[in-house]
Chains A and B, each alone.
Chain A
């Protein structure tokens, strides 16, 4: 299996590769299988991707389903009507998706806007800095959380600085800078007293500032 690198403007044809590197402006219009994919430039993908490892430090737009063992995002990945499936997803950058993000473990210390995040463990751990909070207050943006998600459904969920419509899980921790409309919890539910939470079903919540 070969390696391929796009440093200028180019496209990767469908097939199986060892390592794909996009440092320039690259595009794919067929299905791809690879061991490793590195995106440092701009990447437009119109084929399905199956890879062991995907790293996105650049800007990637995915229009077909992506499957990987591990995905690391420190740039921006946009998924349009395309599911993202992995064992582990680490995001320090931005993920925007109007489809399903499904992983055993999803860890976000950046920004995520998604229709659905599902799996075993979902951690959205960004805490807005003082300046960011000050600016939001100044502009009267009390509900402009960094991340916004339609549904989070996982065994263990720990979130902060996120606006979520529905959270369903077994062990749920809702941080201070959260707005959640509906929570259903079957195990343990811990909520920061200043979090904005609507309906709760399942267990009784415990409140603690030590989150």
Chain B
């Protein structure tokens, strides 16, 4: 019994309830936002430390023993994801203070963020398939409401696509859960890992696996199911975009990693071959979409799709090194991608637009912001010594060892094209002069910006950039962490023994 496993779920719920109690007082909600996410960060770091030192931690909810009750399980992958979610939550909570308008606060921005974090952490920690569906719905409902905060036309259009496709994916997940129960009579993941290989009709198991794959691939935004993502991620307030970009698609990726290592590893040739194609096309379509656009947030949204490809590639190759690479890549990507959105937000509050054609001259006025942009941007493209280089290096090396030359070539070319997109943002927003016809707006936004709110924006950007540099320069401990996580993923017996006890 390890109560610390439940803390990352309980803390955001308490914080969300408290912010509802102080619904009228925005100042109190802001304090609760910062303190609540800070507490979440502490709790998740403790959880990761305990998981690393003591092995997989399990907590049976309501003390019902494992295959019958719902369990929360913290293995290394789950704990790592929880820490990343908490870092994101804390950073975005700070960033929200100056950037979220009073109107948005009045419509419950803070309670919704806490609810979103609770759903995300719950999805990372649950050990029960149906419970995963419930957490996914919790985070979806919160994300729906956050997405339309403000109610502009673009947000409505984006939200309709986002809501429709994500509901479709949830219902597919529900159908798959029902079929799983029909096949095996259990929903506990560890118990399923034991019982799924014993099912007589293995063809049916693969069918159910495919249903899960489609459902989670929609959530992860993988090819060919990603169209909701670039249609909606650039519409909400930028703090929300950053939170979504960092966390939501990664819930889908996490679930793919969990399901296609622990549960559906019987027909690897078939399922992981599909994943490999999915990965390759995600990389290419994402990066080409980004190359076409001239709106910062749209460029970044498309890059989410392309980066998801790298993570799925790690899973699809299914060698120990590839899984290590996938886990490493997730860690690097969440930090970097959210940071890029935060920088994009800072650019907006200095120039009044996200359109690259309408802005410029930032290097002249604020060279430090240029440097802070370059760290995550070059890391995303995979330049040494930043974190992205090691993520790409491990995955590509695994591809070479598996002799999958096609996917290796794609990964390398996409890395170059990513660099092109990042240089495009750099050259347009920072290097070229501010276009004359939009100079008035830029001056007006500059005047509105005060040092206090600028500092609150820069603190999370600077911290995330520092983490990126740290992952790059101190890659060895992070690699060891990813290695240990991958070892647990590839040998499901650890997980099964931790949940079900010695004799399953």
A and B found bound together: no
The interface of chain B, by Cβ under 8 A from chain A, is none
